[in-house]
Structure 1
């Protein structure tokens, strides 16, 4: 059964001339993507296909105004026909099931072969193969987009954002880390970590900038190399201290240490008794302890007693050493099987949650040479196999419990990355980690953006990230088929690098570049003249825009739609005929029912008709409307 309804609001879905987009799913990415679509163009119609049972976590996309909601548990051909995919401009499949999204894409293609598809997939290798099956398709991974931001935040560096355009490679860096000649534009003033100022009017105040790559390693890789070198320098001392602590805490280790102390003591006392030097005393002690001594009745009673004690100690020492080795091997095997750690660690990164994002973060940190300890409730989590293959210790348990964090040595780690799908667990783990180590760098994933900002300020959590918020602009750009080149995350905000075409008759023709960049939230970094392919980087503000030019801009996500509309020519207004003017000025006839618009001659059309009152969508015969 399929149910449809239209959420009351300013946008109506009755106008079939406006572009129509379908979104399938019900998590936070769907919520942010729908908001991106509605903000991009007021004329867009959006239909969301959700299951009957709502997920308890995350925002409710059904509460958005002006969105048509279709309830269906199966994404089959009947569901897509009911939702109107045949006339849609694009379809986004955002369920967290790669195989399910592929099946839904095949069903949608059977109904509408030409519809543009945007498919969310975790397995990017599978996605590359699937993309070739469809004529117009984009395969994106929100985990791949967001993971670099989490990794950079864990290392205290800027997110490694790269893009290549016009034969040049650009990246995000701190102003202090680049040369002045490599500067392209300022991105943000982060002097206030709680309220970063994006694209400030005074570019000199921006400490986060866009720069041209000139053979310099990004900040994330430099930070990782520093940490690896520091860990290697500390490795011998840490290994000896760790071995001594773990050895002395076991009963069998204590017994071995006692026997060794007896051997050393009596070996030291043997030298004056036998009237030999130090070397001979060590030799006699070792031979007596390992193989026993021949009986010598002519020796003094003290020497004979020492020989007996050393022989007995030797009989106990060898089994104790054997038992200690076996005990260590068994404990290591048990730790590998059960996920318990038997040793303390220092300078590592603890990753909580091995879902889509946590698996990516763990893999990228390991590739950078950073030691990682993983925590997840599910022993068969998505990233469990990768953790086993990378020899990453994995603790199975609830990260909200203090003993689980203690087992991961959170008190000596350099960062705690909490990326599970449960906001309550994430927040509790972050607070417990901060209690164990007050200066701990915490990277927290929360689905609710407003809650994340308030927690970041109230609990002094260093960084909070929303995967869906970071990935939504790229999904929206792919669905709208816009030329978005890159997405730059800045704290909990995002900047877009996009190409804006300037059509003849548009509002941008004749304007100077300085006038376009003057409003907050827009920065023109490149200009490509009509009929040319060479990009002029950092053009002067006095240059005027011509028809056919292409602007490369860094823009806030809310301003991209406005800029694209200004680059599109507006349709000319139709002349108003006298009949139409008289009809619009005269009152409605007396025989017209109240509340209905006055009838107009069929030959006369208004220049811009008002939207008609909302009409319910006729459901299929077998369907029941909401």
Structure 2
């Protein structure tokens, strides 16, 4: 099987121009209006996020970018000039105070900072919070720990200036496109595994059911029906009648299990320092040699006790001295004792060099293991992970958490994920995958899947085609950005390998809905791809939504738009602000709600929703436009 994944760029960022002197910002399109949304960035995520906010949510979006001639600046400029959308473009070398003011941050409802440089996003967030304390911030950061500290810092700054945050949605949300896309990429790589949305404490699982499955495993809801023909679209959130009518003629995506991921914090157990390869220090040959020595000592101790009649402890002590050649000669003692001493010495002389050689070999292996682990010769049924950038590192972490054996291939020995691979004790092959022998060194022939996650389309495609030559049934997942190119690759692979199912995924398109939902003021727990569509999982307060408030769970269901999945049963005063990342006891969320349960204004629910459904809910509950 093959899954083609279109990518967004990794790394990079914005930079100063003109020797550190800021270039004045200027509008390339009409200036923004009050109550609009501002997006800062010029990569694939910024482009898709701007389109999502303008097209799906119908908002006016102002994009602040370094240049319309670099990265995805031309595509963003096309949205503003010829896309029929309400989009403005402001060009500035960096997001300083003048640039943010020119983009309309003082009168904006929300600001999304999605530069590829964490530091640039942090600096812009601090400036924006000072310029407009009432603005809602969504910040893209790769460093999760730093993101949590930044959220607390900026929220405290707001409380100090405007008081309680509960009456206004002006909080800071830090998201990572790598974390948002990783579960879907891992699910695409593992044959038979369900798609998952993971947000630390909360874990949602979805699984694909084939059309001809006779005895499906228990599940809670049908999330989607597969498309019924080539070029068709899946039917998201169908009603029970549609599911029954489809019968076994169409596959389906179902919500199979819902659970909380355990072990958010590691258990403190006595252990050796992290990363110490104990198994390498004591390999099987060394363990066999030690076992043989101990067995030999027991044998000679028993024989010595039988021949001499000494007490057991004294007999054991004398036999140890004989084996190691440290005992006194058995002069004047019986013949049996003398023969036994000679045999013990000969056995010790034969065993000691073997034990010494194995110890030296183990120490040498230990030294090489602390720098780089080559793939074991007998490794099989593993995942070959190509590329250890931001996305590759997150995928590596997730695969290791699932206990799946991985072999990594990376061209740059200083790449971001090399340290992670070392800490996880994952074998790494350093080399250019386009050179002959590199994939063979990763044992591609015995692997079960190739994940090509580099930032280079040509390298990913070349690796996938080579893997197809090695094993036509090997499951392959690639990152490709360009839509037309990805479709052409899909079509060609289908024709060349008719038994291989080809799908497309995009890191930026998987992340954009979550960022857009956060910009609109609701917590998006994650996204699940269904063919070329996306289902979102969101936590929504019932108050202010006439589509939910005063309705039963059954009445609140809207086919193709949203479905109520769970209820937050925590007391409103003690309710966690972020269901997605806080470690939570299972009693906080109640699943399998009775269809007749009446939704109250104080309730908060977890919804499965389409992008159009979420846009409809958020538009109906839009807060007042800030005035300045």
TM over 0.5: yes
| Corresponding residue of 1:615 | none
Out of 114, 132, 137, the residue aligned to residue 134 of structure 2 is: 114
Alignment of 1:187-198 (within 5 A): 187-189=224-226, 197-198=234-235
Match of 1:49 among 59, 64, 72: 64
Are 1:184 and 2:217 matched, yes or no?
no
The residue aligned with 2:103 is 83
SS of aligned partner of 2:450: strand
Residue 153 of structure 1, aligned match among 188, 205, 212: 188
| Counterpart selection for 2:446 from 412, 432, 437 | 412
What whole-Å deviation, never above 9, does each CA across 1:183-233 have from its counterpart, x for those lacking one? 23433437879866232452345632124547999xxxxxxxxxxxxxxxx
* 1:558 match: 612
How far apart are residue 469 of structure 1 and its match?
1.0
Q: Give the corresponding residue for 1:432.
A: 466
- Assess, with a 3 A threshold, how the Cα gap between structure 1 residues 100 and 552 changes in structure 2: closer, same or farther: closer
What's the TM-score once normalised by structure 1's chain length?
0.62
Seen in structure 2, the aligned counterparts of structure 1 residues 192 and 358 have a Cα distance that, compared at 3 Å, is farther
1:415 deviates by 0.4
- Residues 521-554 of structure 1 show CA distances to partners (whole Å, capped at 9, x for unaligned) of 443446899x99997955549x999989877542
Secondary structure in 1 matching 2:504: strand
Q: Report 1:606-617 matches (<5 A).
A: none
Look up the match of 2:36.
20
Rounded Cα–Cα distance in structure 1 between residues aligned with 2:141 and 2:436: 34
**For 1:523, what is the secondary structure of its paired residue?**
strand
| Kept in 2: contact 1:449–1:466 (CA 8 A) | no
Cα 1:336–1:82 change in 2 (3 A) is same
Q: How does 1:272-311 map to 2 (within 5 A)?
A: none
CA deviations over 1:7-52 (Å, ceiling 9, x no partner): 5xxxx65543xx211111111111111112113432x221111123
Q: Is 1:372 equivalent to 2:406 in the alignment? A: yes
Task: For residue 492 of structure 1, report the CA deviation from its aligned partner.
Answer: 3.9
Q: Secondary structure at the match of 1:160?
A: strand
d(CA) in 2 for partners of 1:342, 1:29:
38
1:76/1:104 contact within 8 Å kept: yes
Does the CA contact (< 8 Å) of 2:194 and 2:207 recur in 1? yes
How many residues end up aligned between the 2 structures? 461
Deviation, structure 1 residue 386: 1.2
Give the 3 Å change call, closer, same or farther, for CA 564–480 of structure 1 in structure 2.
Answer: closer
- In the other structure, the counterpart of 1:283 is none
1-side partners of 2:567 and 2:369: how far apart?
59
Distance 1:216 1:23 in 2: 33
Q: Equivalents in 1 of 2:61, 2:623: separation in Å?
A: 24
Q: Per chain length, whose mean CA-contact separation is higher, i.e. which structure has more relative contact order (CA < 8 Å, sep 6+)?
A: 2
Q: CA deviation at 1:410?
A: 1.3
Do 1:332 and 1:342's aligned partners in 2 also have CA atoms closer than 8 Å?
Answer: no
Please list the CA deviations of residues 586-620 of structure 1 after superposition, one character each: whole Å capped at 9, or x if unmatched: xxxxxxxxxxxxxxxxxxxxxxxxxxxxxxxxxxx
Task: Report the Cα distance in structure 1 between the residues aligned to 2:591 and 2:437, rounded to whole angstroms.
Answer: 58
Partner of 2:76: 61
Indicate how the Cα distance of structure 1 residues 193 and 417 shifts in structure 2: closer, same or farther if over 3 A, else same.
Answer: farther
In the TM superposition, residue 439 of structure 1 has moved relative to its aligned partner by 0.8
Residue 534 (structure 2) aligns with:
494
Deviation at 1:361, TM superposition (A): 0.9
After superposition, the Cα gap between the structure-2 partners of 1:468 and 1:325, relative to the gap in structure 1 and judged at 3 Å, is same
Task: Find the residue that maps to 2:195 and give its secondary structure.
Answer: coil
**Residues 92, 479 of structure 1: 8 Å contact kept:** yes
Which residue is 1:311 aligned to? none
The structural deviation recorded for 1:443 is 1.2
1:62-461 correspondence to structure 2 within 5 Å: 62-65=77-80, 66-135=86-155, 136-156=171-191, 157-161=193-197, 171-174=205-208, 182-189=219-226, 197-199=234-236, 200-201=238-239, 202-204=242-244, 205=246, 207-211=252-256, 213=258, 343=377, 345-460=379-494
CA gap 1:14/1:335 in 2 versus in 1, 3 angstroms: closer
Distance 2:230 2:388 in 1: 28
Please provide the CA RMSD for this pair.
4.6
Which structure has the larger Rg over C-alpha atoms?
1
Give 1:417 deviation, angstroms: 0.5
SS in 2 for 1:481: coil
CA offset at residue 120 of structure 1?
Answer: 0.9
What CA distance in whole angstroms lies between the structure 2 residues aligned with 1:334 and 1:527? 53
1:443, 1:462 within 8 Å by CA — same for their partners in 2?
A: no
Using the TM superposition, name which of 69-78 and 560-569 deviates more: 560-569
Moved more, 513-522 or 349-358: 513-522
The whole-number CA distance in structure 1 between the counterparts of 2:623 and 2:424 is 55
Matches within 5 A, 1:593-604: none
Given that 1:184 and 1:538 are in contact with CA atoms closer than 8 Å, whether structure 2 keeps it comes out as no
* Structure 1 position 489, deviation (Å): 2.8
